[in-house]
Chain A
């Protein structure tokens, strides 16, 4: 009898200890994609984020003693699956889902209303609705670092620099080859405004999904004879575009891609046709950054890394995921500083944490991420928080950085964001927040 009581006591104690441990965990859903046509992006990004969290757990014991936990859910980059994964994960962990990285513009659109109702913030880092940068109308959406419109102004600035000044853009021809989807069309309005401002001629050419056949589009490019081509592709559309450009003899050094067209997976399949191609980026590749060295030391050397293919560690998608991990962890830290250190936070508190996030150069150095990403300061008014872009060029083997951080042109972007957000607020009957009252 005594033995039974003792065993029961041990079992109960273990259960309580387990519960206590579970209570001191912060759950972050890993709703990404590891199969299907967009798997390289999903697995790289997801792997980077998970690796960063694992490193924090191994090196620091989590954030102020709160261990980070996650669970993978396969979205297949499909809206319905993205919503299903969201619903499945939102109540997991002691405080529910902390934050969602939808990693898809379409899924982000599908979750905007749900995230407000459930008080779970969405981080659409480098994708999603550009006008959600206006935090007064979109309190739970954060298109952090740089939205598509900001990026596009940086791209035109880069082209202007290459031409010898913004005034030299007058009379130039630029073709915008875009994926015929909500994502692809997102930058058409801002390009039209820029064309008017700087006097260049813009032609938009749509590529139907998935973009595995682009002969007619590139023949049109050949006929127009543009000075530059902006490539706004995704997945197979990117290498196919570079191959098709080679086929019509258009120089790849005059093609500037969005960051979803600027990973190793976009250029390697194109072989020699990708040499000289330029892409925008808000994160840089490599394993030399101290934070990446820590991931190798504390995670991969212990056999706990998420990337099955070790050659992908430090690739663009992987380091982008690491940046997502840094941003997420720093927002949790910020929220803990306000709502109680060493305790898991709720989604609502995380929203505050992201909105008050400030990763300055000093903090970047402490994080070992100088050069990996740019400084970031978010506010109620500005859910973007950065707005600078670097440009990288593929030499056939690796990406080389060819510019400094180029700031976006907020004189163009911000009025467009506010106008679009105001229109959205009107349609949805939303009363914008008064940011001066937010603390």
Chain B
């Protein structure tokens, strides 16, 4: 295999991996946009959603029925989170809300294992995670069908969410709430409903991310770690930008894979996990708000 083809294979693999990171990052962005809170529990939500789905299918439930029920569970989880965790904390400092999501993480992780057990599960969605033969044979390049499918799903989600946030009344209300809770309440925006909606949507995104990551890694506790993959994406792309999540994901995915393959062997390997943060921090030097983040100007 020529070096050039190999380079493009690494690059393509990195971009497609970045799409998977972006999927997780989207969940963070949604909550942040609507409440200004960094939802520490997003990884746990991904795990909870995937584990619920796979546990139902393993008990003989029809695929679509399990999907609908899991979605309903995630929506319910969003509503309960708003009622029990967030509503009592309206107008509290954001750090308080952040700490509440840390608590939620441990509750969700424990609850998931309590209900469904701690055993890993296999998950197949009917799309093989193997190289496309025609591409392998003609160009000697391995691109997985499943990776392409994931990219398509992520692209679709981004488009839908972008329209939702910018073209609908609820979307505009979400953005208003994110800017200022009290001001939003003052103009009649029902804060509780907005938060419940956005947590439910984040639950849906967690389900999608959980299913796609579950196919790749199996459905097991380690799914909670995918949140770590989303952090550099958020730093780079900006915490409140859906477009930033996808672009950040692509940049992080490509750069960490290229670094691992071309720099890793000279420094002992295993660098991609922290190299992603190096890239993100370098970007921060030039754009502290992230690539697509909103510049905040405080006037005194």
A interface with B by C-beta (< 8 Å): 34-37, 39-40, 43, 180, 204-210, 212-213, 215-217, 219-220, 222-223, 235-236, 239-240, 243, 246-249, 265, 268-271, 273, 308-309, 312
Contact = CB atoms under 8 A, between A and B. Distances in A.
Contacts of A208: 270-274
A223 B265 CA distance: 13
Contacts of A269: 120-123, 217-220
Interface stretch (B64-72, B111-119, B184-192): B111-119
Interface residues of B, number: 50
B269 A239 contact: no
B171 interface: no
Given A40-B118, A247-B144, 13 more contacts: A35-B109, A35-B118, A206-B268, A208-B272, A247-B129, A249-B130, A265-B120, A268-B218, A269-B120, A269-B122, A269-B220, A271-B124, A312-B119
A217 B260 contact: yes
A248 B122 CA distance: 20
B216 A240 contact: yes
Nearest 10 pairs of A and B residues by beta carbon: A269-B218, A206-B270, A236-B222, A39-B118, A206-B269, A180-B270, A216-B260, A208-B273, A37-B221, A208-B270
Contacts of B256: 216
A247 B222 contact: no
Contact of B131 (A209, A248, A270): A248
Interface string B205-222: 000000001001111111
B164 interface: no
Contacts of B216: 212, 240, 243
A210 B222 contact: yes
Given A215-B14, A223-B6, A39 B221 contact: yes
B61 interface: no
B182 interface: no
Given A37-B220, A215-B13, A216-B10, A249 B118 contact: no
B10 A207 contact: no
A268 B272 contact: no
A213 B225 CA distance: 11
Given A206-B270, A243-B217, A269-B219, A35 B122 contact: no
Contacts of B14: 215-216
A236 B220 contact: yes
B129 A243 contact: yes
A208 B13 CA distance: 18
Contacts of A222: 1, 142
Interface in B251-274: 256-257, 260-261, 264-265, 268-274
Contacts of A246: 129-130
7 contacts: A206-B270, A207-B270, A216-B256, A236-B218, A246-B129, A269-B123, A271-B124
B113 A35 contact: yes
Nearest to A265: B120
B234 interface: no
Contacts of A219: 6, 9-10, 13, 257, 261
B17 interface: yes
Contacts of B123: 269, 271
Contacts of B9: 219
B229 interface: yes
A209 B228 CA distance: 11
Contact of B261 (A207, A220, A243, A308): A220
B103 interface: no
Contacts of A216: 10, 13-14, 256-257, 260-261, 264, 272
A270 B264 contact: no
Contacts of B269: 180, 204-206, 217
Contacts of A212: 213, 216-217, 222-223, 225-226, 229
A40 B124 contact: no
B185 to A, nearest CB: 40
A249 B128 CA distance: 12
Nearest to B273: A208
B110 interface: yes
A39 B51 CA distance: 15
A213 B17 contact: yes
Nearest to B260: A216
A240 B217 contact: yes
Contact of B257 (A215, A223, A270): A215
B1 A247 contact: no
A223 to B, nearest CB: 6
Interface in B14-41: 14, 17
B118 A268 contact: no
Contact of B117 (A205, A215, A309): A309
Q: Which of A209, A217, A239, A247 has the most CB of B within 10 A?
A: A247
Interface string B171-197: 000000000000000000000000000
Nearest to A181: B270
Q: Which of A40, A216, A219 has the most CB of B within 10 A?
A: A216
B96 interface: no
Contacts of B121: 268-269
B136 interface: yes
A312 B225 CA distance: 26
A249 B132 CA distance: 10
Contacts of A217: 260, 269
Nearest to A236: B222
Contacts of B122: 239, 268-271
B272 A309 contact: no
Contact of A249 (B124, B142, B218, B264): B142
Contact of A247 (B117, B124, B142, B226): B142
A70 B109 CA distance: 27
A285 to B, nearest CB: 15
B211 to A, nearest CB: 14
Contacts of A265: 119-120
B221 A223 contact: no
A396 to B, nearest CB: 11
Contacts of A204: 269
Contacts of A239: 120, 122, 217-218
B136 A43 contact: no
B59 to A, nearest CB: 13
Contacts of A249: 130-131, 136, 142
Nearest to A44: B119
